[in-house]
Each structure stands twice: as C-alpha cells, then as structure tokens.
Amino acid sequence: MGEREIAIVSFAEVIVERSDRDDCELLLPVLKRALGDVGLTQQDIGFTVSGSSDFLGGRPFAFVMATDVLGAWPPIRESHVEMDGAFALYEAWVRLQHGDLDTALVFAFGRPSQGPLHDVMSLQLDPYYMAPLRPDALSLGALAARAALDAGLTSEDELARIAGERRGVPTSTSEPYLREPLRAHATPTLRDGAAAIVLAAGDGARALSKRPAWIRGLDHRIEPHSLGARSLTRSVSTEQAARGAGALGFGADVAELHARFAHEEPLLSRALELPASTRVNPSGGALAQDPVMVTGLCRLGHAARAVHEGAARAIAHATSGPCLQQNLVCTLEAR
C-alpha cells in the first residue's frame, strides 16, 4: 500500500529571549498566522495535535489550557504528545494516512525561562540509578562530547567553528569551559517560543501552496534509556530513521538538525550520511535558538520553508531524551 501524499504548506514561529506572556498569549498569533497564511481557519482543520511539556513550567495540564486558543467548538479531533512538536507532527502524518481527513494543524510551545531547565531535564533519567545523581542536561551533553572527542569524531576546534557559524558570532577555544569539554558556545541558547505547521494531503496541498514541501518519508526510532546501554558516539536510531525516511543518498540541499550541542552535528551528519553539498542548519539551529519542545518542530518548519522558497530537497531531524535517545528524520521535496 502506498503512502498518501502529504505536504507541509505553512509554518509560523515566534521565538523570544524570555516571554512575559503565558502559553495562550504566545500561541494565539502563531496559530492565526500559520492558518491565515494559507487562508484557513480552525474549522477547516481535520486533526489538531500539539507538543509541549508541563515540566517546563512546573504546572500540570498546561497543554489543556492551550486549547483555549483553538476555538474547539463544535468539538474537534485533538491530541497531544508530551514531547517536542516534531513528534506531534509524526502523529498528524500517521493520522492523515487514514485517508478520511485532509488537513492537520501541528503546534508546539515551550517556555524554559520559567525554571532551571537543565536541572529539570534530569527528571527524564531512570529514577533508580541516574536521576538521584541529578546530572544536569549540560553535564550529560559534556559526557557525550567527551566520548565523541575521545573517539576522534570531532575536535574542540571544530566545535568552536560549528558554534561560531550557527550563532553568527566569533568563538574561540580560549573561552573557559562551561562543562568540560563543552564551552558555553557549544551548548544550546535557551529561548521561549511557539510554532505551528499546517499539513495538507494531495490536491488540497496544491490548492493551498504554490510549492508544497512534500513529505517523502518520515520515521522515528528510539534507543535504550540507559546511557550505559548504548553508544554515545554513534546514533543508531538516527541511522535507522534515516533509512526509514529515505534520507540516505537523498541529496538534500538543506538539512535542519536538532543538535542541542555542537558535537551532535557531526554525529548526526554522519548518521544521515550527509554529503558536503548539503547545507547544515542555515537557520542556526538550537545553538542559536532553542525554544525547548518547539525546536524540533522548527527544524521541520525551516526545512519546509527552504523547499517553499526554492530548494529541491531538504532533511529535517528532531530529537528527544538525553544524549540523542530518540530521533526523527523527515525528508521533504518539491514535486
């Protein structure tokens, strides 16, 4: 059975250093813009799904409050993942494969400025052995970076170069370590934000967009939870998702990678077998702006935007869990 033709037809995002708005205030203009850009309203949407985490604000059911801005009456088909919005997009893509609905709205929101994000992320570790040690997310990033350096996959010079290019500022290995061997420039720039994407199937997508970004393949895979039970220097789940999504040999013009740490870029590029001709993270990626829970969806949005604006092929990657535990790969193309 062939997969149904589905495309990203619209993308909107807002990213700020620190939002004084609540989730609904942040989301409302983003949703209106993503829908309005293709002349749709919520009533035109078949399936709505969001990604967020209540751990960012330390309050339960923030994702339920967020439905206030949807206008969910008459009742709509709605779902949520406690993950980055990229994984919500996966659910929407699967839902549209059923064939009875033609459009989907995917959105995500996150405000890491509300709490000690790097420490909060230690709660996703196993509760018996790892979480009680409270290694923060930066320390785990540094652990994996050390493994990558020791394996000869990258160098501190290369990490500084990658960070400088993504951030658009000069970087140097003379800067002090934040978590050895990571300097601040090689770690994510936390931001508050929200984003939304509209998916449409078949002729519906052609009617909404002059140049839809067609999803050629979409896959995501997960590795063992325990950091000791998997390789930190080779992303096997990215390799498998890349195969599933048809990313190997795809010849993308652009790849938007959800690399929260500089050393993850060469690791992911290798897993995706990216050729030198593929531009990696022209948006700057998470090193420049990391609106946690939104960052992965933004990778899909920026890859799609590249296709909307003329690229023939693009790859988007999103991750979740400590040290690239789970990985999603999407191939997008113009037709």
Partner 1 sequence: MSGPVTRFKSPVRFVFDVPAGPTVSRFLAAVAEGRLFGQRCPTCAKVYVPPKVACPRCGDPLSPEQLPVKETGTVTSFCVVNVPYEGQTMKLPYVYASILLDGADIPFPHLVDAEPADVRMGLRVRATWSDALGPTLESIRAFVPTGEPDAPFDAYKEHL
Q: Which residues bind partner 1 (CB under 8 A)?
A: 19-22, 24-25, 28, 42, 57-59, 67-73, 113-116, 119-120, 123, 127, 131-132
Q: What is the per-residue burial (b if ≥16 Cβ within 10 Å, else e) of 281-314?
A: bbbbbbbbbbbbbbbbbbbbbbbbbbbbeebebb
Least spacing, CB of residue 189 vs partner 1, in Å: 19
Sign of the torsion angle spanned by Cα atoms 313, 291, 97, 34:
negative
Decide if 185 contacts 283 (C-beta within 8 A). Answer: no
Least spacing, CB of residue 289 vs partner 1, in Å: 20
Q: Judged by CB, which is closer to partner 1: 67, or 155?
A: 67
Helices in the chain by DSSP H: which ranges? 23-36, 62-65, 85-97, 117-120, 137-150, 156-167, 202-208, 236-245, 264-271, 285-288, 295-308
Q: How many whole angstroms separate alpha carbon 160 and alpha carbon 154?
A: 11
Backbone angles phi and psi of 28, in degrees to 5: -50, -55
Q: Judged by CB, which is closer to partner 1: 122, or 295?
A: 122
Least spacing, CB of residue 114 vs partner 1, in Å: 5
Least spacing, CB of residue 283 vs partner 1, in Å: 27
Helices in 62-218 by DSSP H: which ranges? 62-65, 85-97, 117-120, 137-150, 156-167, 202-208
Least spacing, CB of residue 122 vs partner 1, in Å: 9
Least spacing, CB of residue 66 vs partner 1, in Å: 10
If DSSP codes are grouped into helix, strand and coil, which group holds residue 76? coil
Query: How many angstroms from the chain centroid is the CA of residue 255?
Result: 12
Q: Judged by CB, which is closer to partner 1: 53, or 209?
A: 53
Least spacing, CB of residue 104 vs partner 1, in Å: 17
Q: Judged by CB, which is closer to partner 1: 68, or 150?
A: 68
Least spacing, CB of residue 228 vs partner 1, in Å: 19
Q: Judged by CB, which is closer to partner 1: 71, or 275?
A: 71
Half-sphere exposure of 9 (CA within 13 A, CB side): 27
Peptide bond into 74 cis (omega under 30): yes
Q: Judged by CB, which is closer to partner 1: 72, or 169?
A: 72
Decide if 112 contacts 56 (C-beta within 8 A). Answer: yes
Note the residue count of the chain.
335
Cα separations (Å) of 96 from 102, 267, 295?
Answer: 6, 32, 23
Least spacing, CB of residue 307 vs partner 1, in Å: 29
Q: Judged by CB, which is closer to partner 1: 20, or 100?
A: 20
Q: Judged by CB, which is closer to partner 1: 123, or 169?
A: 123
Backbone angles phi and psi of 331, in degrees to 5: -105, 135
- Torsion, Cα of 167, 173, 179, 181 (10° steps): 110
Decide if 12 contacts 185 (C-beta within 8 A). Answer: no
Q: Judged by CB, which is closer to partner 1: 19, or 237?
A: 19
